Amino acid sequence: MNLATLISLSLKASILFIVFGLGLHVTVEDVTYLFRRPARLLKSLLSMNGAMPLFALALVLAFKGLHPAVKVALVSLALAPIPPILPRKALKAWGKSSYAFGLIVVEGLFSIAFIPLAMVLLERAFQIPLQMSPSVVAKLVLAAVIAPLAAGIAVHRLAPEFAERLAKPVSLVAMLLLVISVLPVFFAARHAIASLIGNGTLIAIAGFVLAGLAFGHVLGGPDPEDRASLGLSTASRHPGVALAIADANFPQQKKLIFAALLLYLIVNALVTIPYLKWMKRRASGIGTAVPS
């Protein structure tokens, strides 16, 4: 087994531990939150699966100088569901999980039908052969999100005290595995990442993230915590699913698309920090209890 295989296995294991650890804090009522609120569900889908993909298309058409790999990465990200680490941000920032976990479940399930449909529409619009079967998306979502989350919820339901004790060591293991696997990946891809910078790449990626924050903020409702959750969810997408979409259709550009996705993760982290700080100050100003 070579180093690349070990890193890949470590990354997959870290994601499973992250989602399982999140599930240890969650109830069935949390993950079904949006299914019991159809109006909020529709607004959430409009933000993530309506406004954002259309903006991504407009963005890549407007920035004609962008490298093709960056264009593919941005469109693929706009179609992908929420990354499993995102609810940790919501929990850390607000201490409130229902809406954030409702989003991750809804988006994961919805993407099984949405991504293949989007491939068909894009193929007809741009006359480029595209594909992504529902079964492939379902396997990705079920294996990376639904199954480990359900396992964590089951432990929480059957043994809540044990779940609370287990959550911290699981989270520590997950973070350790993530650091061990991600740092070598960024180091190995540093030259490919550097080759993509220029021709408006950083501006386009930052614009993508800012647009996602804006769409979610507007459609998230009056509660600042929910606005922040939907804003982060719309701006932050699952890079693994995005890579799978891109690789299924543009395998010859996989290395540079992967580098573009890594660059997106860096820009996303930097751009969302001031937004989160602003929302926390705003929530505090109107009397919302926000942990320090």
pLDDT tens-digit map of 83-101? 877 666 555 555 456 888 8
In total, the chain counts a number of residues equal to 292
Q: What is the structure's pLDDT at 263?
A: 94
Percentage of the chain modeled with pLDDT above 90:
42
21-69 per-position pLDDT tens digit = 888 888 888 889 899 999 999 999 999 999 999 999 999 999 988 999 9
Q: What is the structure's pLDDT at 179?
A: 86
Please report where in the chains the tokens 């699913």 appear, as a residue. Answer: 241
From 1.10.10.10, 3.40.50.1820, 3.40.640.10, 1.20.1530.20, which CATH number describes the 3-283 domain? 1.20.1530.20
Reference 73, options 268, 244, 192, 197; nearest CA is: 244
CA 16 to chain CA mean position, Å: 15
Segment 111-117 shows an average pLDDT of: 92
Neighbours of 252 (CB within 10 A): 8
Reference 34, options 240, 210, 233; nearest CA is: 233
Q: What is the structure's pLDDT at 212?
A: 96
φ, ψ (nearest 5 deg) of residue 158: -80, -35
The answer to whether 141 and 108 are in contact (CB under 8 A) is: yes
Q: What is the structure's pLDDT at 262?
A: 92
Inter-axis angle of helices 52-62 and 68-79, nearest 10 = 170
Percentage of the chain modeled with pLDDT above 70:
91
Q: What is the structure's pLDDT at 63?
A: 92
233-278 per-position pLDDT tens digit = 999 998 888 988 998 899 888 899 999 999 999 999 999 989 988 8
SS3 of the chain: the string is CCHHHHHHHHHHHHHHHHHHHHHCCCCHHHHCCHHHCHHHHHHHHHHHHHHHHHHHHHHHHHCCCCCHHHHHHHHHHHHCCCCCCHHHHHHHHHCCCHHHHHHHHHHHHHHHHHHHHHHHHHHHHHCCCCCCCHHHHHHHHHHHHHHHHHHHHHHHHHCHHHHHHHHHHHHHHHHHHHHHHHHHHHHHCHHHHHHHCCCCHHHHHHHHHHHHHHHHHHHCCCCHHHHHHHHHHHHCCCHHHHHHHHHHHCHHHHHHHHHHHHHHHHHHHHHHHHHHHHHHHHHHHCCCCCCC
18 to 73, 100, 160: CA distances (angstroms): 24, 15, 18
Segment 283-290 shows an average pLDDT of: 56
Whole-angstrom distance, CA of residue 23 vs CA of residue 167? 9
Confidence bin at 291 (pLDDT 50/70/90): very low
**Does pLDDT of 285 surpass 70?**
no
Query: What's the whole-number average pLDDT of the chain?
Result: 86
Segment 118-133 shows an average pLDDT of: 87
Judge residue 62's burial from the number of C-beta atoms within 10 Å of its C-beta, 0-12 exposed, 13-18 middle, 19 or more buried. Answer: exposed
46 to 91, 93, 150, 246: CA distances (angstroms): 24, 24, 26, 23
**Does pLDDT of 280 surpass 90?**
no
67 to 9, 33, 53, 194: CA distances (angstroms): 30, 40, 19, 12
Residue ranges per structural domain of the chain: 3-283
Segment 142-158 shows an average pLDDT of: 90
**Does pLDDT of 132 surpass 90?**
no
Confidence bin at 206 (pLDDT 50/70/90): very high
